[in-house]
Amino acid sequence: MNSELSIQLEDQPATKNKSNFIPMLGNFNIQYNFTAASIAVTFLSSSAYLDHALREEPDWASAITLPIVFVGAMTGMLVMGRLGDVLGRNRAMQVTLCLSVAGCVIPALAVGNANATFAILNAGRLILGIGVGGIYPLSAVSAAEGTDKAEDRGTRVGMAFFFQSIGCLVPYLVAMILIPVLQPSTPEPWVPQVQFRFLFALGAVPGLIIIAATCREKSSTPELPVNVERPSLRDAFARQPREIWRTLLGTSGSWFLYDIAYYGTNIFTPSLLGKICLTGNKVDGVCNQSLFETAWQSVIVQAMGIPACLIAIRLIGRFGSRFLNIMGFLLLSLLFLAMAIVWTVNEDLHMLLFVIFCAITFCLNFGPNLGTYVLPAICFPFEVRSTCHGISAFGGKLGAVVGTLIFKPVSLMDGGIAALLFMQAAVCLTGAVVGHIFLKSDFEYLESEDKDATLTFLSGIENARSGRLSGARPSRPSAPP
């Protein structure tokens, strides 16, 4: 390593213990914006309040409104994940949060007829998806690298991830407050306007707070100056052991299968609750319960994720992410199978179906929900850690797109809900098999010290620079003992 680079690196912080605030609020920001976007669109297009939709969703928009935010998120995970390894965690976080804030503000300012409104809304959702997607890898690796104790990394990442459960719950609480507070004596079109815009705009607040925090906080990892040449993605992966590809297949494959189950269930929670129709009456197969009734039922269901996530955080330090993944997938498979059987036998058993659905939500947040997020933050080498977490998260969001796209056509078939539940059971069983075959326990990944990985990274950068100057291919450093 040359003397110039050595001097520059000496200016970096010597200790790695720091607050977990930025990763925590970043994870809150992720789920608040994903969930609030769906609820806001419901306010805009629902006829429950005015007896007609404020903006009738055009056919072209209904085909892309849900998938477009996931397309953006997948892009953000790959691009911002790589930027986290190239620019440093804090710098990349600032870039992705600026996109996240813009993606909240643009839909909140949407104007015009239905076509214009939904065009602006979907443009904003795409930008929002890119910004929020980038937070996934950056917040995870920042939490993991915020401590110098390897054994604490899983718990730190898990605690940061816990705030996704809070972020998923808060939009429903905000909606429950907005519905009774904004109730003039006669229905007015401005009411859903305010509700729609407020839910979107509120999502910009956490992002602005995190931007301010990252500007004040020094990075916990060595951030190379901008004038130092970085190795290409190909060179970075060429220096890693071959086993990294097996691990990457395990982390991305598990996340892919989990998100099929998660988003195929959770993002359509209001629709499923309408099918269960716990407090309303079905007329010609349509539940007549109000948006407020559906909202409080959604709060109950989503609240099941909070104790589930806390229990998982408590256990992850003892059993590891791989164990939580496998056990969680198996429990989910059994519960989806049970709900499918009950639905097939008698779909009028509303209370039993609601209880099983709450249990499913508990397990969705207990095992692989935490494990798939935590493991990629601790099992990959420093040089490609953020990139690999982004690739793993990309696999998850690919599963989210599959889950959201298959739900509607399958659910509209005769016996569609039961068929969907049987499919979910099979998906979760496959997830348990993938985790068992391709992944190792956290403790095996943590055997080599992060210091060794960092030194290998810095040595590789010097080799890459020397190789480019001389025209030779950079050498591959030997793996640490």
Domain residue limits, the chain:
20-217, 238-449
Q: What is the CATH number of domain 20-217?
A: 1.20.1250.20
Chain position carrying tokens 């965690």: 89
pLDDT, mean of residues 329-344: 93
Residues 23 and 21: their CA atoms lie apart, in Å, by 6
DSSP string, 290-348: -HHHHHHHHHHHHHTHHHHHHHHHHHHHHH-HHHHHHHHHHHHHHHHHHHHHHHHH-TT
pLDDT, mean of residues 144-153: 82
What confidence category does residue 329 fall into, taking pLDDT thresholds of 50, 70 and 90?
A: very high
**pLDDT at residue 12, as a whole number:** 41
pLDDT, mean of residues 45-72: 80
Tell me which of 34-48, 95-109, 114-128, 456-470 is least confident.
456-470
238-449 sits in which CATH class? Answer: mainly alpha
Residues 215 and 211: their CA atoms lie apart, in Å, by 6
Question: Would the CA dihedral through 425, 396, 29, 85 be positive or negative?
Answer: positive
pLDDT of 49 > 90? The answer is no
pLDDT of 390 > 60? The answer is yes
Task: For residue range 214-253, list pLDDT tens digits in order.
Answer: 888 766 555 555 555 667 888 888 888 889 999 999 999 9
SS3 287: strand
**pLDDT at residue 333, as a whole number:** 96
Q: Please check whether the two domains, 20-217 and 238-449, share a CATH topology.
A: yes
Token pair in block for residue 128:
């929002």
Task: For residue range 272-308, list pLDDT tens digits in order.
Answer: 666 666 666 666 666 666 667 766 777 777 777 789 8
SS3 282: strand
Question: Cα–chain-centroid distance for residue 406?
Answer: 19
pTM of the model: 0.80
pLDDT of 473 > 60? The answer is no
Nearest to 459 by CA among 8, 15, 6, 147: 6
**pLDDT at residue 80, as a whole number:** 96
**pLDDT at residue 410, as a whole number:** 74
pLDDT: is 47 or 326 the higher one?
A: 326
Token pair in block for residue 418:
């039961």
Question: Would the CA dihedral through 152, 157, 160, 166 be positive or negative?
Answer: negative
Nearest to 139 by CA among 384, 390, 309: 390
